[in-house]
Each structure stands twice: as C-alpha cells, then as structure tokens.
Amino acid sequence: MIRKDADWAFQQYEAVREVLPKAEFPDTSRHARNLGELAADFDVFLLDAFGILNVGETAIAGAAAQVAALQAQDKRVLVLTNGATYPAELALAKYTKLGFRFALEDVVSSRDALAVELRDRQDGGFWGVMGASGSKLETVPAATRLLLLDREVYDAAQGFLFLSTTEWSFEQQEMLHASLAANPRPILVGNPDIVAPREDGLSLEPGHFAHELARDLGFEPQFFGKPFTNVYDLAFSRLGEVDSSRVLMVGDTLHTDVLGGAAYGVKTALITDHGLFAGREVAPYISKSGIQPDFILPTT
C-alpha cells in the first residue's frame, strides 16, 4: 500500500512536469509573517482556498480578519480555486459561513474556466461526467450525463468532463479506461489537482485519473485550472486594468499555485503552516523542484 502523503504527491507532480506550464523563478524567496506585511506591495491578491482560507470545514485562524483588512485597504482579493465538484455559488456560501466576505465574481474556479471552453464548443451529443450527485450538472453549459456503472453511457459520450472524484470508484475508472481504449475521445479536466488534503489524509483528485489515462493510453487531456493559463485568464478578465507586477498569487502548493502564478507572470507566495506542507520543511521540495516562490509565509 502506497502511503499518499506530501512526498508521494510531490513525486506525482514531478512525474508529469513536462505537461505543466514552464515558468521562471526568483533565485531566493523573501520571508514575511503574513499577507498584511505585503499589503503595500500589491493591489490584487489571488488566494487559493484550501490551506489559505480554510482546512476542511474550518477557517484558518486569523485568515478572515486578514482578508477583511486587505479589502478595507481597497485591495482586490479573489479566490482562485481548483474546486470543480460544485458551482462557485456553493463555494461562496461555504466561505461566507466561515466568516469571509466575498462577492460571487470574486470566486474564480477551475469549473468556471472549463465552462468558458464548453460554451465555445457545441459539438452535439453529450459529455460523460466524472462528478458527484450534488454537482448540479444543469449549471454546466453543455449536455451532460453523470458516469455511473452503465457502460453504454461511457461508449455513447462524445467526450468526458472530469469534475469530481468524491463518488468515483476504481470500477468506474476501469470502465472509462476500456471505453476510451476502444474509442479515444477528448477529456476535459475541470480540476487538475492530483491530490487534495482531507481530514483523514490525501484524496486522489481528477488530475490523478486523467494523468493515469494519458500515460496508459497515450493521449493528452485538456486541463482547466491552476497551474494552467485559462483560469488566470478568467481571473484577469474580472479584474479589468491592472499592473500585473502588483498581483500576488498565494497558495500552499508548489506545482499548482506557485508554478501557475509564476508561469502567468505574477508574483507568488507559499503558505507553509497549513495545507500540503503543514508540519514539513519546505526547503527540500523547493530545491528539488526548482519552483521557488517570491515569498514564503507561515500563514495567511
């Protein structure tokens, strides 16, 4: 049994590095105590959710007050999340319950980035969806059917949307593998994450299953969300005119948040005390990957 910890996740991301965006990084990182110390240097803060705002169903201590303080200084604060299980409305309701004050347009999700692509792609037929029963597929701008255990649905789909693994089984993954092996079709991945930290360890996310199929069947899925450009394009489309040197991406992962921000040409900050690297020394991961953030902060 492979223990799926931060080391395992790190190796998985490094193994697919060639399909991730390329970026340039600073030689060293500056250390600060929290985002408040960086407020004067930036106008826009793009915040990852898990590890920055919350861990599971709990707000990170002080995070809501920090975000409110930035907002009170007229800083624009957006949430940039790879969550695709639910529409942004439900993510917003969760952040609001945890004490954050965001408007709906402040929440930019990988699911929204995927929706932009789907609106331009009226191929006819329907998409088979790796999703959850609560995924509200009626809000996806295309014809869809949830993938369960009916092989005919897999075979009839024009392509596949990967939104959520919360109800995905290895039996379903095998069925999808067999259907794609017989008839290759496009896969659009609405959450490129390989793992997500949960209360009881790391869960395997849509990115994991997409990379596995890509490796086994030799094709290239299309990814929507961090570290890829499309979700940053969507965020910037909501910002209007901004000086990108005064935009900071803040996250708890190197291969999604820091790599994605650097590839897009904005400054990056890694939060170390919550999320993926909680309880670990981050320096070895930074030197092994070469993914160097501009700033390192213990907390939001």
Query: What is the residue type of 110?
Result: S
Name the minimum Å distance from CB 104 to Mg ion: 21
Question: Is 42 or 50 the residue whose CB approaches Mg ion more closely?
Answer: 50
Contact between 13 and Mg ion per CB under 5 A: no
HEC sequence for 191-250? CCCCEEEECCEEEECHHHHHHHHHHHHCCCCEECCCCCHHHHHHHHHHHCCCCHHHEEEE
The piece of 50-58, 71-79, 145-153, 233-241 that touches Mg ion (CB under 5 A) is: 50-58
Residues 260-279 binding Mg ion (CB under 5 A) are: 275
| In the complex, minimum distance from the CB of residue 251 to Mg ion, in angstroms, rounded to a whole number | 5
- 224, 247 Cβ separation under 8 angstroms: no
Task: Give the closest residue to 262 by CA, choosing from 289, 237, 227.
Answer: 227
Binding residue (CB under 5 A) for Mg ion from 48, 106, 193, 294:
48
Q: Are 23 and 262 in contact (CB under 8 A)?
A: yes
Nearer to Mg ion, 48 or 294 (CB): 48
By beta-carbon proximity to Mg ion, the closer residue of 77 and 129 is 77
Enumerate residues 6+ apart whose C-beta is below 8 A from 112. Answer: 88, 231, 234
**Min CB(185)–Mg ion separation in Å:** 30
Position among 50, 209, 277, 295 found at the interface with Mg ion (CB under 5 A): 50
Contact 234, 247 (CB under 8 A): no
CA proximity to 154, closest of 124, 185, 133: 185
Q: From the list 29, 35, 51, 176, which residue makes contact with Mg ion (rule: CB under 5 A)? A: 51
Report the distance separating Cα 79 and Cα 105, nearest Å.
9
> Minimum CB separation from Mg ion for residue 299, in Å?
13
DSSP helix/strand/coil, 282: coil
Residue 26, both tokens: 């600073």
Which residue, 53 or 142, has its beta carbon nearer to Mg ion? Answer: 53
Number of residues interacting with Mg ion: please give it, by CB under 5 A.
5
Task: Report 202-261 residues binding Mg ion (CB under 5 A).
Answer: 252
Q: How far is the CB of 258 from Mg ion (least distance, A)?
A: 11
Which is nearer to Mg ion, 51 or 221 (by Cβ)?
51
Instruction: Between 159 and 207, name the residue whose CB sits nearer to Mg ion.
Output: 207
DSSP conformational letter for 160: E
CB of 165 to Mg ion, least distance (A): 16
Q: What is the closest distance, in whole angstroms, from the C-beta atom of residue 51 to Mg ion in the complex?
A: 4
Binding site for Mg ion (CB under 5 A): 48, 50-51, 252, 275
